[in-house]
Structure 1
Amino acid sequence: MEGMARSNSSRKTDTIAGARRPEVRLPPLVPYDGEGLEPDGDYDGVRFDGVDLADESGPGARFMDCALDGCAIDRTELVRARFIDSVLTGVRGVGTDLAGASLRDVEVVDARLGGVQLHGAVLERVLVRGGKIDYLNLRKARLKDVVFEGCVLSEPDFGDAQLVRVEFRDCVLKRADFSSVRMESVDLRTVAELDIARGVERLAGAVISPAQLMELAPAFAAQIGVRVEA
């Protein structure tokens, strides 16, 4: 009985909680026929198909049951915007401002973005699949049940963010900044390329593979002041 108890305890310790993925089922949508985003605008059941939203301003806008397909969002201001039960496919842009935004039950597919500002944002049940995002700013953001899958994140900044049940699956992390991050049930085991620029000492709460441990060993040793010499 004692041995069985130890075995059960070991299994519980080795198990990491998986992220809950969004289950977005969009209703019939109406095409967007507006002339630009509005501050605190309310968009419910709208399809934005190839719409050029570059330089538009819609702080505080709410997007519920919406689809954004192939839209340009260069320098679009969406501070404190809310995306709920929505799908963003093939969106592209540089300098999109989503600071303090809220994304819940959202799928982002094949995005091509650069310098996206999501600092202080809240992401819950979000799937980012495919595409490439450069210089993603998630400082002080809260991520819960978020999956990055098959995408490339170049120099993402997770500084002082809180990550709970976050999975990085078959994706590339280049020069990631995990400074002062807090992690709980973060799965990095299937990352294709794990390159941590800062914050390797903040991986408590994450699970990595044995191969990744070997790759990160020099960084871990340097962090605690151990010299490794032949």
Structure 2
Amino acid sequence: MPRRTTTRQPVLERLVLPALEEAGAEQLAAQDRHDGLRLVGADLTGADLTGATFTECELVDVTAHTTVLQHARLLETRIERLHAPVLDATRSTWRDVELVGSRIGALDVYDAEIRSTRITGTKFDWINLRSSTLEDVLFEDCTIDELDLGAVSATRVAFVNCRAGSVALSHARLEDVDLRGLEMRAISNLEGLAGATLDTRQVIDLAPALAAHLGLRVEV
């Protein structure tokens, strides 16, 4: 079979929500299931929503500082203009999610499952995706100071017009991960780039680091 030479892009469908019920922060609780809710301007600071499930929900202008979303499930849900200096979503599940125009400081999504998700116009100080599974994920117009992809398993992930200060790739497993639209100032664990797609400029910029990593001596 001939080797495929084209990078597969994320497969995403437009999220269309039904008529939603207006709700407030007081209606949310850990381990509960929340269906078809719309929260606008809610303050979830310090809330424990461990194990909660959100299905076909919309959260707009929500503050979620130190909110706990461990083991939470976000399904067919749109989050717009979220403000969260610290957000704990370890071991959470994201499926058919849109995160738009948000400002998140430290986002801990360790050991999470993120599928069919679009993240647009959002700024992060730090994203911890270590040991997470990503499939059909698109980052657009995002700024990420520190991106930790250690031990991640990523398939059909793309970045468009994004910037990252540093990217960590220790033990990453990548397939069809398109980094051409990600400006990276520093990369650690270069062996983790296997399975990624870069453009010519990126390869040239990385040449000294790749040569050092491989123990190559370059002489003119």
Query: TM class by shorter-chain length?
Result: over 0.9
Give the C-alpha shift of residue 124 in structure 1: 0.3
Question: After the TM superposition, which residues 33-44 of structure 1 pair with which residues of structure 2 at under 5 Å, given as runs?
Answer: 33-35=24-26, 37-44=28-35
Q: Secondary structure at the match of 1:223?
A: helix
Give the C-alpha shift of residue 23 in structure 1: 2.3
2:193 and 2:32 map into 1 onto residues whose CA distance is 39
Matched, 1:205 2:189: no
**Could you list the per-position Cα deviations for residues 144-175 of structure 1 after superposition, in whole angstroms to 9, with x for gaps in the alignment?**
00001110111111111111110011111211
Which one-letter code corresponds to 1:158 in the other structure? L
Q: Post-superposition, which runs of at least 4 consecutive aligned residues in structure 1 deviate over 4 A?
A: none
Give the C-alpha shift of residue 229 in structure 1: 5.2
Task: Determine the structure 1 residue equivalent to 2:172.
Answer: 181
1:117 and 1:22 map into 2 onto residues whose CA distance is 26
Give the C-alpha shift of residue 226 in structure 1: 1.7
Q: Which stretch has the larger CA shift, 96-105 or 20-29?
A: 20-29
Aligned residue-pair number = 220
Matched, 1:154 2:136: no
Structure with the largest fraction of strand: 2
* Cα pair 1:36 1:56 within 8 Å, conserved: no
Give the C-alpha shift of residue 34 in structure 1: 4.7
Task: Determine the structure 2 residue equivalent to 1:21.
Answer: 12
Question: After the TM superposition, which residues 92-131 of structure 1 pair with which residues of structure 2 at under 5 Å, given as runs?
Answer: 92-131=83-122
- In our comparison, the structure showing a higher alpha carbon Rg is 1
Extract unaligned runs of 5+ from structure 2.
none
2:27 and 2:65 map into 1 onto residues whose CA distance is 14
Matched, 1:220 2:210: yes
Q: From 15, 40, 51, give the equivalent of 2:42.
A: 51
**Could you list the per-position Cα deviations for residues 153-200 of structure 1 after superposition, in whole angstroms to 9, with x for gaps in the alignment?**
111111111111100111112111111110000111122x22333122
Extract unaligned runs of 5+ from structure 1.
none
Task: Determine the structure 2 residue equivalent to 1:133.
Answer: 124
Q: TM-score, normalised by structure 1?
A: 0.91
* Cα pair 1:120 1:140 within 8 Å, conserved: yes
Which one-letter code corresponds to 1:91 in the other structure? L
2:177 and 2:25 map into 1 onto residues whose CA distance is 41
Percent identity between matched residues is 33
Q: TM-score, normalised by structure 2?
A: 0.95
* Cα pair 1:201 1:220 within 8 Å, conserved: no
Distance 1:82 1:111, change over 3 A: same
